[in-house]
Structure 1
């Protein structure tokens, strides 16, 4: 049997698994692999400026396609930079393979230059993490890692010393892609589980559905069961792109960034049906209602709130199986009230997204609304954690073709631009829009160079409010004077132009539509620096007494400390929101 190098066989296996690109930063411990990729010419190397961005990009590719994506880092600091992005991928439950190069095998354990312990570093953010120590071991270890990542929908890490990659091996490829990547099963509850589920739902009066990202591919079934139960549908953030569109039963979101209508529908039901969601905020669950949860992952059942029935199953298949057992002719009064509440809440939110030309106050809501209006019908949006996520959740309109990707579970800053890089590299023909916070963009600003050098036509919308906005809001809600949140930003449009990216800056509502249109229409990468109001409030659907007391306490402290102008600006910027709150 002829011998080949470990690196050559490694690259061939990745190609067999359908891998088309690897995101990373090269280094000597990766030289064997990168040279194999170059010679074979089957897999693209996407050169990012920071390995963290490479891991984020791989996570976004996996979110977009559902298929295995790959990132890599050289030994020591190189693969340590991967960790934050891998946590994002792991908590997003998407299949990512991370290649963590290692120091020369004979030096392991000697406190060698750049020595780390990848097995320990990555254990908490992976479903599989092992080191390849010999050429003969590599094929089985890599095959196992690929199956673990795709089967468990998580991160698998393979560490490999650079010298091992260069050795010869008699190892062989998997027989074919089907053997390497077996089809995922469709899980349906047994007869007993379906009978219990149907009985509980048939006995229910006012049902509300809470739908999450587990409803991907189940839009038709979701509409059918909502119609049968006459149930309003509240969507979690992760479910927005799969649930909200073409859905007359949708009444918005609940939670910290949700709507009053979603909150009221949850709290007013006597039975809550959870479909494919692990919505984490326990204070937004009803305390008196019965709770039924359907989820493909048994560990999610009952994790957030006490449940009366838990069913393990694929959402679409389970609804198909239980729907014929559900009675018809239900009263629709609860649904009608919920939809009326949603119409009022939606109207209030939409009114906040229109500024006054010439006022000098540019509301971020208006920027997000205009982006949604002008973006392509199949655009992919990525959103930074913090206030950009709020505006995306409230103002981006989904249609079944658009996608929305973010760090919804890990909650990391600086995710939007690297996510956009991964999406654009994967789908070069689609419009990709990064909704970036000024803090998030600045944290990994070097990735603007990745966008330019790789020729990726990403559109970057920067919400430039000069602060870590959501953190500032949390401080005010707790009655604190904001500290350490101010951002002394440059002109981001000028920075973009200096990097070879088309840059546009807007500061007033009069120029928003033209600015967004110019950026979206530009054939290459482009950036819009939208200088928005710093003091924009983003209220949760239900203000607690503690939060109201906190805002009052903040105002008093600000005045006493000579910051009365900040209180005046807060009121001036949010006059519409304050009026709507008083009118509830």
Structure 2
């Protein structure tokens, strides 16, 4: 019996390991909806806004490395997907975007909800096609999966509704990607640089995830302190004596100090953009499986194209054990920094310090997935939420989109039973309707709102640029009552003495939970103390203004 194009698409997605499709129904994708209804191996997750569908799919893919899927109907439904898809594009998540289209004989007629989706999705996609011949259905969906998986990005198929209903042809293509092995012809040059270095520093990014033990062993053997870009947060414990913390605006003082003293920077799976924080005139080894990332930010002495895991496995066998460990020389600096952080993390003032909220949460949520939204909350999550080494952190790292927290947590909850979302009140209000999705599908996500009634990061940016605070005040509803109206437990905390018990209650709750933490609106996300030149260059690089940094 012949299969429809819609059935072929769904069955091929199932074959590729896609477990669910996030989206909202619509007339132009009704054939897809019916094909999903009849297929018992894939689930439909009804979100409340298509942006949430794309965010959920993006985060699920970031966590698993697998292909995920989202969909939108013709016109506005599919347009709404774009912000979440750009998050997937920029963080290299493998997402299939299925968009509806008007009947093929109406294309070009300026028909109701007719939008040129191929043109619209061109920039966000690594693969971007409209299905115009039903006999091509099997190949195009296979190709979309293949491109999304191998190129780690968004693959888009635009689907006219009449084509979806037609009989299509299947395609028997290989779904799995071949394993690539690298020889590292310059490995010996890298080993020589490492052996001759007296103060090496390792910087890790998203490409280092999953290789904690190898990085730990490598760092110990060469005595190198470890710093991390945002996507490297949580690869190792922040309490590990070798881990100095983050870098940049979200960074730490010991990281800055380590970089100022290093004679060799080893970049593992990172393409950190803020080059003013990186040392100049030192040797650099860069390991990355994308050749385009090599030397994109800094001059590289030795480039090694390949996976971090394979490099470390080979390098550990060749490098000499250093007796003089550079990370031990950083011990006092790190201890001093932790004491400095701890002063505000344990402060009992009202309104609560957001740093205290993040720190207290990190003592309880020591494993699982931590989804961190964008804004001031990114600082508190990156710096004050101490990684145990057993959590997986997810950010909108490269797009930096507000609103990823709640829908991202929904997506994460399908692959982990222990999901915590840290969100600012501004980002939460953008996508808070996805709490309804969490409740509908019994997703036990825990959402903590850092509620300061302001767009706090924008307030800080205005101040840095010399402008008065303006346009950042937020009118917020009672978020705890809002959660309760959905059937979700909610609690508001204003007194820091009540924080610990509220977190315990949230942790022990079985279903979704919202903790509305009222925090100090005047707490700034200040960068670690830098030299005058570094601070000035940092401000210039972000705001393109000749401003003097403010000393606190």
TM over 0.5: yes
User: Displaced runs of 4+ in structure 1, greater than 4 A?
Assistant: 543-549
Which moved further from structure 2: 238-247 or 278-287? 238-247
Which position in structure 1 is the counterpart of 2:485? 498
Q: State the shift of 1:46 in Å.
A: 0.5
C-alpha distance after superposition, 1:55-78 (max 9, x if no partner):
000011111111111000011111
Q: What is the alpha-carbon distance in structure 2 between the residues aligned to residue 199 and residue 545 of structure 1? A: 35
Which position in structure 2 is the counterpart of 1:355? 347
Q: State the shift of 1:132 in Å.
A: 0.9
Q: State the shift of 1:403 in Å.
A: 1.4
8 Å Cα contact 1:384-1:416 kept in structure 2: yes
Which position in structure 1 is the counterpart of 2:334? 342
Matches within 5 A, 1:125-204: 125-169=124-168, 171-174=169-172, 179-185=174-180, 187-190=181-184, 192-204=185-197
Which position in structure 1 is the counterpart of 2:459? 472
8 Å Cα contact 1:127-1:155 kept in structure 2: yes
Which position in structure 2 is the counterpart of 1:322? 315
C-alpha distance after superposition, 1:477-503 (max 9, x if no partner):
223211111112121111111222111
Q: What is the alpha-carbon distance in structure 2 between the residues aligned to residue 385 and residue 354 of structure 1? A: 24
Change (3 A) 1:489 1:544: farther
Which position in structure 2 is the counterpart of 1:226? 219
8 Å Cα contact 1:269-1:289 kept in structure 2: yes
> Any unmatched runs of 5+ in structure 2?
537-549
State which of 354, 357, 379 in structure 2 corresponds to 1:367.
357
Q: What is the alpha-carbon distance in structure 2 between the residues aligned to residue 415 and residue 517 of structure 1? A: 25
Q: What is the alpha-carbon distance in structure 2 between the residues aligned to residue 461 and residue 544 of structure 1? A: 35
Q: State the shift of 1:27 in Å.
A: 0.2
TM-score (norm 1): 0.89
Q: What is the alpha-carbon distance in structure 1 between the residues aligned to residue 509 and residue 194 of structure 2? A: 52
Q: State the shift of 1:323 in Å.
A: 2.5
8 Å Cα contact 2:125-2:155 kept in structure 1: yes
Change (3 A) 1:547 1:490: farther
Q: State the shift of 1:513 in Å.
A: 0.9
8 Å Cα contact 2:134-2:166 kept in structure 1: yes
1:410 matches 2:399: yes
Which position in structure 1 is the counterpart of 2:248? 255
8 Å Cα contact 2:227-2:246 kept in structure 1: yes
State which of 395, 399, 418 in structure 1 corresponds to 2:384.
395
C-alpha distance after superposition, 1:382-404 (max 9, x if no partner):
11111111111123333343211
Q: What is the alpha-carbon distance in structure 1 between the residues aligned to residue 86 and residue 20 of structure 2? A: 20
Q: What is the alpha-carbon distance in structure 2 between the residues aligned to residue 189 and residue 389 of structure 1? A: 38
Q: What is the alpha-carbon distance in structure 1 between the residues aligned to residue 503 and residue 485 of structure 2? A: 20
TM-score (norm 2): 0.94
Q: What is the alpha-carbon distance in structure 2 between the residues aligned to residue 260 and residue 164 of structure 1? A: 59
Q: What is the alpha-carbon distance in structure 2 between the residues aligned to residue 499 and residue 43 of structure 1? A: 26
Q: What is the alpha-carbon distance in structure 1 between the residues aligned to residue 40 and residue 213 of structure 2? A: 42
Change (3 A) 1:98 1:250: same
State which of 431, 442, 448 in structure 2 corresponds to 1:444.
431
8 Å Cα contact 1:388-1:436 kept in structure 2: yes
SS in 2 for 1:305: coil
1:532 matches 2:519: yes
8 Å Cα contact 1:215-1:243 kept in structure 2: no
8 Å Cα contact 2:269-2:289 kept in structure 1: yes
Q: State the shift of 1:547 in Å.
A: 10
Q: State the shift of 1:83 in Å.
A: 0.5
Q: What is the alpha-carbon distance in structure 2 between the residues aligned to residue 214 and residue 74 of structure 1? A: 34
Q: State the shift of 1:245 in Å.
A: 5.6
Q: State the shift of 1:246 in Å.
A: 7.0
Q: What is the alpha-carbon distance in structure 1 between the residues aligned to residue 465 and residue 319 of structure 2? A: 46
Which position in structure 2 is the counterpart of 1:93? 92
SS in 2 for 1:168: coil
Which position in structure 2 is the counterpart of 1:553? none
Q: What is the alpha-carbon distance in structure 1 between the residues aligned to residue 415 and residue 172 of structure 2? A: 25
Which position in structure 1 is the counterpart of 2:304? 311
Q: State the shift of 1:360 in Å.
A: 2.4
8 Å Cα contact 2:455-2:474 kept in structure 1: yes
8 Å Cα contact 2:58-2:85 kept in structure 1: yes
Q: State the shift of 1:283 in Å.
A: 0.9
> Any unmatched runs of 5+ in structure 1?
550-577
Q: State the shift of 1:19 in Å.
A: 1.1
